Structure 1
Amino acid sequence: RSLVVLKESPPYPPELEPHVLLNPLARASKDSTGSYAYPKQPDHLPSKYEDDLSVDGVGTDVEMITAVRHSDVFLKRNFTEQELAYCCQSPDFMASLAGGWAAKEAVFKALKTPSQGAGAAMKEIELLSGPSGPSVLLTGHASKIALERVSPSSSSPSLTPTRSPWPSSLPAVD
């Protein structure tokens, strides 16, 4: 008796793939023969989940740790005091700074914000660290754009620490 059974196809017919593959609520159930199968007509998602599956935009950014500037002018224009304090207490200041910058860029892209030029400050996009992971606080113009386009309370950044470069992404949920 083998511990691993290799399959050559998914446990559902091809026509059900869009309804099963990315549906966290899809469940197989026993049929009349005692086998497990997915229903031919997938249940409609409860309305409370429909909103959760609507993504308006995804922002992704990758930053080389060595490419992030750390001059006083750059830091003061783009990071809040809380963000800088967090970076200072981390084991690798530059890696933390690169991750923060990548996350700010990802938020900017997810919101589909019209650019105000390469020199525009990113201080209005603040990254907060909490017990359940990072979150984003938007103020000023960034907040106005977000309220028009997405639900900021439903968005959370995904930071992936690597030696270099540092990727970051954020789904913007409407």
Structure 2
Amino acid sequence: MTKEFLPLSISVLTISDTRTLENDTAGDALISRLTQAGHKLAERAITPDSIYRIRAVVSNWLVDDKTQVILTTGGTGVTGRDGTPEAITPLLDKELVGFGELFRAISYQRIGSSSMQSRCLAGVANGKYIFCVPGSVDACETAWDHLLLTQLDARTMPCNFAKLVPRLTER
């Protein structure tokens, strides 16, 4: 039995001190891929790499009914300005550790030991998925093409994240 595609409403946040809508190639890559897959862009924003600004944007989307999935790009490295994991982790109800593990394993095949510098992560907060990936176009394409494309598609078997969206707030 073939399941029907269920489009999700996805918001994209670019975390950068230098990017604008005109030069946000990583955000553009995510938006291009999610719309080509049949999903809807709910919102797009760019914020400086500031823990509290990141939390403010993501927190607003967590209480916004039109967003089902949040994708962030940037701020997952190890420099002093990289604060995405510190901003997002306290918001999570559940962490999906397999996302970061798989992303780094896939990245290792492409960039070798440099993949260990990525602190990408994913989880569930207030019934919504949050996926935080590095800020390069290559990293965004890797995350989407190898992990998110299939897991955000309700037709992927034996299981997927999309099918679970209605159950994320069960108690």
TM > 0.5 fold call:
no
Q: Rg: which structure is higher?
A: 1
Q: What is the TM-score normalised by the length of structure 1?
A: 0.29
Q: Compare the two structures and name the one with the higher helix fraction.
A: 2
